[in-house]
Amino acid sequence: MRVYLDSCIVIYLVEEHLDYAPRLDTILADLSKDTEIFLQVSDLTELECLVLPLRQKNQSVLDKYRAWFESVEILSLGREVFRRAAQLRADFVSLKTPDEYIWRQLNNMPATSYGQMTTGFTELLLV
Q: Give the pLDDT of residue 84.
A: 81
Instruction: Please tell me whether residue 37 adopts helix, strand or coil conformation.
Output: coil
User: Does any domain span residue 103?
Assistant: no
Which residues form the domain of 27?
2-77+115-126
Q: What is the pTM of this model?
A: 0.69
Question: In terms of DSSP H, where are the helices of 7-98?
Answer: 7-14, 20-34, 43-55, 59-70, 79-91
User: Does any domain span residue 13?
Assistant: yes
Residues of the chain with pLDDT under 70: 95-127
Q: Give the pLDDT of residue 104.
A: 60
Q: Give the pLDDT of residue 91.
A: 81
User: Does any domain span residue 94?
Assistant: no
User: Does any domain span residue 119?
Assistant: yes
Q: Which amino acid is at 60?
A: S
User: Does any domain span residue 39?
Assistant: yes
User: Does any domain span residue 91?
Assistant: no
User: Does any domain span residue 98?
Assistant: no
Q: Give the pLDDT of residue 102.
A: 58
The domain total for the chain is: 1
